[in-house]
Amino acid sequence: MTENAGAASGPLYTLNDLSKAYTRGRESITIFEKLDMQIANGDFIAIMGPSGSGKTTLLNLLGGIDRPSSGEVIFQDQRIDNLSQGALAKWRSNHVGFIFQFYNLMPTLTAAQNVELPLLLTRLSGKERKRRVQTALEVVGLGERSNHRPRQLSGGQQQRVGIARAIVADPEVLLCDEPTGDLDRATADEILETLQLLNNDLGKTIIMVTHDPAAAKYARRELHLDKGRFLEKGGA
Amino acid sequence: MNDLTLIRKGVFRKKVRATLLILSILVAFLIFGVLGAVNAAFGAGVDTAAANRLVTVNKINFTLSMPYAYYGRVRQVDGVENVTHANWFGGYYQEPRNFVQSFAVEPATYLAAYPELQFGEGQAEAFINTRDCLAVGADLLTQFEDWELGRRIPVRSNIWRQQDGSDTWEFEICAVFDGEQDNVPANYAFFHYEYYNEALQFGSDEIGWMVINTTDPSVNDQVIADIDEMFVNSRAESETTTEGAFNQAFVEQFGNIGMILTLVISAAFATILMIVGTTMFLAISERTREIAVLKTLGFSQPRIFTHVLSESVLLSLIGGLIGLGLAALFVSVAAAALSAFLPGLSMSTETILTAVAIMIGFGLITGLVPAINAMRVQIVDGLSKS
């Protein structure tokens, strides 16, 4: 099945004949089979679907943290599904920002140090790293909380730190796995508005997995994944 | 922030656990440092032995004496440069608990045999020329408040008697010596053989052992063979060895000190290795999700491996260096108190370097399995851990 989720410009991602199956004991479980898809640069896609439909698996394949059983994942004309572990790690640090449902911040580090983590993989000077961290924290409205540790922050604030960490290295794409799944409605809306701002104003391509129809409405486009197939609905 | 910050934060992620681990490692290296210094002190005689110095004793046992005439005969052996002799006096000052390790020696040849003994100006000559002079080691001198240069003191023997039945020899402290290096013992005294021998009630004209300086270490074997062959089938057959071998045998009277200390240290390390290794393994397992996040962000497998291994080495170095520091402190205090009984008690550079090497090795061993596990964490599995 082919799904064109393209927006304004050429494809950022191209998925060709993508299949993913897990083996559990002697049983092979197919998540999806021969999936074709294109995602344009600058798009904001919400991927929805029932549990077990493969939303997170698809996100993991797009993020290069899992490998397909067969098929191709092409990012900006570069095939990434066959890269080595080391090359994939480097590719992730250069191109992708991850936002998790449970924030996944390092508890021993301050907000600023958490945000700085991806920059440790760059050759930037300490001064430049500090400047970028401060900018990222200000973008998400946490400029004054840089020295707080995660446990000193609310859930919404922790997710903002997570967003700052995802954008600090200026990646082209943000992959968000249920970014508001652990937040109340009001806080979730604030986070989603921030994501929308990153998409509209900074041109970040955002691919968000969510169960929440209200969250999906912030996306330009909604894709429903069910039984290994995409069903498209109109976005916000 | 840099990688070292992450490593440091990783070590102290749980402060109580980190403190207990550091304490465990500290104890191991405290034991290592102290026992290492004790072992070195016991082996100081072996270390300071001269390559061209031989010792001849009675073949039956070194506590049995040999005829004085042997001294003259050994001087005639080819390859012998200098010969001296000594007798064990077994002295004490005033009370038996004030032990004075002392020997009756032939003065001039004794000083020639031990050029590493350093005397104040004119004191060596004073010792040679004064019949009742007692040459006292600097460490021994500090044991008795009333001992000083020029003072007359009585030293009693728990073995020997004078012809008048007295067990006391009067001496004048006319020379004080020290070793040219710290590991040369200076915890004993010696005096003229003649002064001692002429007064003896029994056992006169006997010598305890001889110290021979050869012209060159290469002739040692020949000289040893010649000396021992000379006294074959006599009433006191001799046994000649190098000074190093003699000192080693002397130390081993008390048991194989090195082996005992090695076993104690090994047992301590093995126990702590298992404790620290297991704890590190569990500590890293607890952080599977964090490691998966770091890998998601782009941290490579080698970098993760290095981080975890560095945490383990850092932990080991912190505990080990504190333990070694405390051991050095303990040894320096003990050295002052035990200088007369265990001279040369100090923490050597070799002990310190060995300890640091063990710390690094210890850290690498305890961190290796956790580091490999961390490196192998699958991101998808790690992120799904609660």
Mean local confidence (pLDDT), B220-237:
93
CA distance A93 to chain B (A): 5
Is residue B15 within 8 angstroms of chain A, CB to CB? Answer: no
Closest approach of A234 to chain B, Cα-based (Å): 31
Chain B residues touching A181 at Cβ < 8 A: none
Contacts of A106 in chain B (CB under 8 A): 9, 290, 293
Q: Residue A71: left (phi > 0), alpha (psi -120 to 50), or beta?
A: left
In B, minimum Cα distance to A106 occurs at: B290
- For A96-142, write each residue's pLDDT tens digit: 999 988 889 999 999 999 999 999 999 899 999 999 999 999 988 88
CB contact under 8 A, B298 and A85: no
pLDDT of residue A120: 93
Q: Are strands A11-24 and A2-5 parallel, antiparallel or unpaired?
A: unpaired
Band of residue B83 on the pLDDT scale cut at 50, 70, 90: very high
Per-residue pLDDT, A2: 44
Whether B13 sits inside 8 A of A108 (CB atoms) is yes
CA distance A15 to chain B (A): 20
pLDDT for the residue numbered A92: 94
Q: Would you say residue A4 has pLDDT above 50? A: no
The beta-carbon neighbor of B298 closest among A66, A90, A113 is: A90
Is residue A87 predicted with pLDDT exceeding 50? yes
Residue-wise pLDDT tens digits, B114-147: 999 999 999 999 999 999 999 999 989 988 989 9
Residue in chain B nearest A110 by alpha carbon? B1
**Cβ-based interface (< 8 Å): residues of A facing B:** 60, 63, 65-66, 85-86, 89-90, 92-94, 98, 100, 104, 106-109, 113, 116-118, 120-121, 126, 129, 165
Closest alpha carbon within chain B to A93: B298
**Record: contact B3-A120, CB cut-off 8 A:** yes
> What share of chain A in percent tops pLDDT 90?
50
Instruction: Find, in chain B, the residue whose alpha carbon is nearest to that of A116.
Output: B1
CB contact under 8 A, B9 and A85: no
Question: Chain A interface, mutation test: which of B383, B385, B386, most A Cβ atoms within 10 Å?
Answer: B383
- pLDDT reading at A8 higher than 50: no
B291-348 pLDDT, tens digit each:
999 999 999 999 999 999 999 999 999 999 999 999 999 988 887 776 656 666 778 8
Is B203 a residue whose pLDDT tops 90?
A: no
Over residues B261-285, the mean pLDDT reads: 86
H/E run at residue B46: helix B44-47
Closest residue, chain B, to A89 (C-alpha): B298
Contact residues for B44 (Cβ-Cβ < 8 A; gap 6+): B183, B184, B185, B343, B344
CB-based contact, B384 to chain A, within 8 Å? no
Which residues does chain B have within 8 Å of residue A60's beta carbon, measured at their own beta carbons?
379-380
Distance in angstroms (rounded) separating the CA atoms of residues B36 and B358:
13
Closest to B246 (Cα-Cα) out of B40, B111, B56: B56
- Type of residue at A111: A
Q: DSSP alpha helices (H): ranges in chain A?
A: 55-62, 85-95, 111-116, 126-139, 155-167, 185-202, 213-216
Q: What pLDDT is attached to residue B153?
A: 95
Q: Do A65 and B380 lie within an 8 Å CB cutoff?
A: yes
The answer to whether B141 and B177 are in contact (CB under 8 A) is: no
- Contact criterion met (CB below 8 Å) for B182 and B47: no
